[in-house]
Amino acid sequence: MNFVAHVQQGYTFKGDSFVLGVGIHQGKTYPEAQVSVPLKTLNRHGLIAGATGTGKTKTLQLLAECLSDHSIPVLMMDIKGDLSGIAQAGQTNAKIEERIAAMKMSYQPSAYPVELLTLTEQPGVRLRATVTEFGPVLLSKILGLNDTQGGLVSLIFKFCDDQGYPLLDLKDFIKVLQYISQDGKAAIEKEYGKISTTSTGTILRKVIELQQQGADVFFGEPSFDVNDLMQIAPDGRGMIHVLRVTDMQDKPKLFSTFMLQLLAELYASCPEEGDMDQPKLILFIDEAHLVFQEASAALMQQLESVIKLIRSKGIGIFFCTQNPQDVPASILSQLGFKVQHALRAFTAADRKTIKQAAENFPLTEFYKTDELLTQMGIGEAFITLLNEKGIPTPLVHTMLLPPRSRMDILTDAEINDLMKRSRLAAKYNRSIDNTSAYEMLEQKIQQRLDMENEDNKEESPTKSTNKTAGGFFDHPVVKQVGRTAASVLTRSLLGALGLTGARRVSSSRKRR
């Protein structure tokens, strides 16, 4: 079979699909060998990998555009800050025109409907979640607690549920933690069991560590409704939500905390959909190693479970990273759609990585995969995915279409204009400080202190009378005289019995 027929047979689907590029064989571009992506299998998750500067981010941008055109909402993690330009139309240049001509396709610059999101104080729609929404199990995994400490976190949530204390932010959680280990410890232990001071101290240190990475701005109200990620723009295209996390690279704990909570919330709130003609939402996680490098074994197990199960909700997840080995093998095996850009071999370890990457692809008679992995140009990639029957498609060296939106960042003025037109900013960009566990426990402690002060005032006259009656004997000088007299009397009695220190020593010498 010739190359064109091979690609056409492998990438022809019954349902809706979109074109990513065309096949390349022995250095020649074949416009007839179009590489298409079926919408039906996009919830099987994917991987976009390749060395720096090979075009990974532009591939991610291209995929987001194609999905939006088919009314599929998208959430993108913008780590490097260069994805916001998708909100503005691109511009043609000589390189784009040359590529389009080689592929025999058309190019029409276009802007896309975008909502900017943020976890911090950057311009964008604020994403928050309450501590209660995390729940004891997820919070314990995020904090990296053992079973005993996790049991104490569950006790805190149970106590707050029973007493009606809302846990909204980390300030609430810390206050309850301090209360059960100090003021309320005795009463709580009677009802809920023994509380270890060591465990409460460890949990407090873990929470402070999370706070140091900026978690305070993430926990609180109003909490973000994940259903707002599934918006369709007025023109029928899917909304592209760009989460600006340029300041998260040095805060991997916070980033992985957010990602796990988001995936758990999506899984919990979305109904089972089964096999759909197209997904309800696609998530692109750029610089995916940030999700995994700080993850504990328990957290990795939770991530793996969610990724396995969330596809039945009609949600697909794509990881974007430099090295395929950045993604744990247990998760990598769940990724049916693979886009592999060029890899660079500078060391023996690099060559080993390239060999492992080549072995993960389907066998092909048209390429020497391990050799070509180091020779592909910018905007070219190996592609394989799952067809409608769940069977991997042939591996194709593909020249990818250029994105139609701007391949650069937005200016500050453009960001401000986008925020003014945002449909979500008015809903989420306001701080709410409702009465919660912190305020309620502060009030309870204050009431107890006030009652104790009142009791002390009532008892003070009696105490004064007693001191007056026994004042002579309570005087320090009188007390010292009494102690001296008692000491003298004791020594005299011991001496009369022959038990003084000197007598004991001399007796012992005689025995020797």
Structural domain boundaries of the chain? 16-126+225-366+380-420, 131-218+434-445
Q: Residue 111, exposed/middle/buried by CB under 10 A (0-12, 13-18, 19+)?
A: middle
Q: What are the backbone angles phi and psi of residue 297, rounded to the nearest 5°? A: -60, -40
* Dist. CA 443–CA 449, nearest whole Å: 10
Tokens describing residue 15 = 């349902």
* Dist. CA 422–CA 411, nearest whole Å: 16
Longest dimension (CA), the chain: 122
Phi-psi region of 204 (alpha: psi -120 to 50; beta: other; left: phi over 0): alpha
* Dist. CA 169–CA 177, nearest whole Å: 13
- The torsion defined by the Cα of 193, 194, 195 and 196, in degrees rounded to 10, comes to -150
pLDDT of residue 97 exceeding 80, the answer is yes
Best CA proximity match to 418, nearest among 240, 275, 260, 163 = 240
Better pLDDT: 297 or 340: 340
In contact, 156 and 180? CB cutoff 8 Å: yes
Give residue-wise pLDDT tens across range 225-247.
999 999 999 999 999 999 988 77
Tokens describing residue 393 = 């498609």
Which architecture does CATH list for 16-126+225-366+380-420?
3-Layer(aba) Sandwich (3.40)
Please state the length of the chain. Answer: 512
H/E/C letters for each residue in 34-100?
EEEEEHHHHHHCEEEECCCCCCHHHHHHHHHHHHHHCCCCEEEEECCCCCHHHHCECCCCHHHHHHH
pLDDT of residue 423 exceeding 50, the answer is yes
* Dist. CA 221–CA 117, nearest whole Å: 16
* Dist. CA 102–CA 247, nearest whole Å: 39
pLDDT band of 460, cuts 50, 70, 90? low
Q: Percent of the chain beyond pLDDT 70?
A: 87
Range name among 127-136, 256-265, 288-297, 419-428 with the lowest pLDDT average: 288-297
What average pLDDT does the structure give for the chain?
A: 84
What is the structure's pLDDT at 461? 56
Residue 245: HSE in the Cβ half-sphere, 13 Å Cα cutoff: 30
Range name among 265-269, 388-392, 487-491 with the lowest pLDDT average: 487-491
CA distances from 222 to 217, 365, 429 (A): 12, 56, 9
What is the structure's pLDDT at 459? 65
Q: Percent of the chain beyond pLDDT 90?
A: 45
What is the structure's pLDDT at 495? 44
What is the structure's pLDDT at 445? 82
Residue 213: HSE in the Cβ half-sphere, 13 Å Cα cutoff: 22
Q: What is the mean pLDDT of residues 75-101?
A: 91
Q: Give 386's DSSP letter.
A: B
Q: What is the mean pLDDT of residues 124-136?
A: 89
Q: What is the mean pLDDT of residues 410-437?
A: 88
What is the structure's pLDDT at 480? 45
Tokens describing residue 493 = 């009695």
pLDDT band of 249, cuts 50, 70, 90? low
- What is the chain's alpha carbon radius of gyration, rounded to the nearest angstrom? 34
Better pLDDT: 475 or 32: 32
Cα angle: 349, vertex 335, 44; to 5 degrees:
170
Give residue-wise pLDDT tens across range 158-173.
999 999 999 999 999 9
What is the structure's pLDDT at 476? 45
pLDDT band of 138, cuts 50, 70, 90? confident
pLDDT of residue 94 exceeding 70, the answer is yes
Q: What is the mean pLDDT of residues 409-418?
A: 91
Give residue-wise pLDDT tens across range 291-315.
777 666 766 777 788 888 898 999 9
Most confident listed range (254-263, 285-294, 310-319, 481-490): 310-319
**Is 33 strand, coil or helix?**
strand
Tokens describing residue 237 = 């295209």
* Dist. CA 337–CA 20, nearest whole Å: 13
pLDDT band of 33, cuts 50, 70, 90? very high
* Dist. CA 293–CA 295, nearest whole Å: 6
Place of tokens 């402070």: 208
Give the rounded distance of the alpha carbon of 431 from its chain centre. 22
pLDDT of residue 191 exceeding 50, the answer is yes
| Cβ atoms within 10 Å, residue 377 | 12
What is the structure's pLDDT at 280? 94
Q: What is the DSSP string of 187-244?
A: HHHHHH----HHHHHHHHHHHHHHHHTTGGGTBSBSPPPGGGGG-B-TTSPBPEEEEE
Q: What is the mean pLDDT of residues 183-192?
A: 85
